[in-house]
């Protein structure tokens, strides 16, 4: 089965490379073919080379983004969340200490009865919840570190908001790269069908021979991270 328009870009890179490379090899290695057949192989390979180059470049661009700036931004958000959590716990402790012996609202009015109500929430939700806690600090009796707690929490919230915004922008860039990859895969799938049709027309009733020019992606033979070299090797070297 040919790689189709819903294939991953990685799989399509392999499929196009297999067909293009086999065509080039056949033009040089298949001694039983006529000069006209050899010229045909070369011409068909040339038709696939541009999309092969585009696919490989796009695959690398997606990988570079995912493993580079994308992972960097995700790591920043995770660490920023930890930094914010530390600030919340420290702020809660300092508020309790500062209000010790004072009447009126306590630290739980700001930070909740359980601190994990603020810290154990999705990354995107926590900054907003902490901003609410900062606002509620004004409703507490004054204590020595009150202003410091507010300033520290606000700095950590602002930091995490910035990290989240940067990650969002990065994810938007990745989505564009992936969308371009999908379009290339669709174009490549169409070219594979056209190449298959051309080979079938030139070598009628030679299905086994023609199939050698294509990567078989059927469920029986294809594994995402494995080539079919083992199957080919089993026939002898």
Residue 79 lies in a domain: yes
Closest of 176, 205, 217 to residue 10, by C-alpha: 217
Determine, yes or no, domain membership for 33: yes
Answer whether residue 4 is part of any domain: no
In-domain check, residue 2: no
Assessment of whether the complete model's pTM goes beyond 0.75: yes
Task: State how far the Cα of 104 lies from the Cα of 96, in Å rounded to an integer.
Answer: 12
pLDDT at 225 over 60: no
Largest CA distance in the chain: 99
Domain region containing 88: 9-233
- Give how many domains the chain has, as a whole number: 1
pLDDT digits (tens, 9 = 90+) for 126-182: 999 999 999 999 999 999 999 999 999 999 999 999 999 999 999 999 999 999 999
Token look-up 């371009």 returns 180
CA-CA-CA-CA dihedral for 132, 72, 116, 118, to nearest 10: 10
Tens of pLDDT, residue by residue over 59-109, are 999 999 999 999 999 999 999 999 999 999 999 999 999 999 888 999 999
158 falls within a domain: yes
Q: Is residue 109 in some structural domain? A: yes
Residue 16 in any domain: the answer is: yes
Query: Which tokens is 235 given?
Result: 């026939």
Residue 1 belongs to some domain of the structure: no
């Amino acid at each position: 089965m040919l790689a189709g328009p819903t294939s991953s870009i990685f799989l399509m890179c392999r499929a196009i490379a297999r067909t293009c490379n086999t065509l080039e090899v056949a033009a040089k290695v298949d001694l039983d073919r006529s000069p006209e057949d050899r010229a045909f192989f070369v011409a068909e390979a040339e038709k696939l080379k541009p999309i092969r180059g585009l696919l490989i470049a796009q695959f690398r661009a997606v990988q570079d983004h995912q493993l580079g700036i994308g992972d960097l931004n995700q790591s920043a958000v995770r660490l920023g969340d930890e930094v914010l959590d530390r600030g919340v716990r420290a702020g809660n402790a300092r508020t309790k200490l500062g209000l010790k012996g004072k009447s009126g609202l306590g630290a739980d009015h700001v930070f909740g009865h359980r601190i994990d109500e603020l810290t154990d929430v999705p990354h995107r939700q926590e900054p907003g919840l902490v901003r609410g806690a900062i606002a509620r600090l004004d409703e507490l009796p004054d204590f020595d570190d009150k202003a410091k707690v507010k300033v520290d929490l606000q700095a950590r919230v602002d930091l995490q908001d910035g990290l989240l915004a940067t990650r969002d922008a990065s994810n938007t860039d990745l989505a564009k790269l992936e969308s371009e990859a999908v379009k290339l895969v669709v174009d490549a799938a169409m070219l594979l069908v056209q190449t298959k049709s051309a080979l079938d027309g030139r070598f009628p009733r030679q299905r086994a021979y023609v199939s050698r020019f294509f990567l078989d992606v059927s469920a029986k033979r294809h594994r995402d991270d494995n080539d079919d070299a083992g199957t080919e090797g089993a026939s002898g070297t």
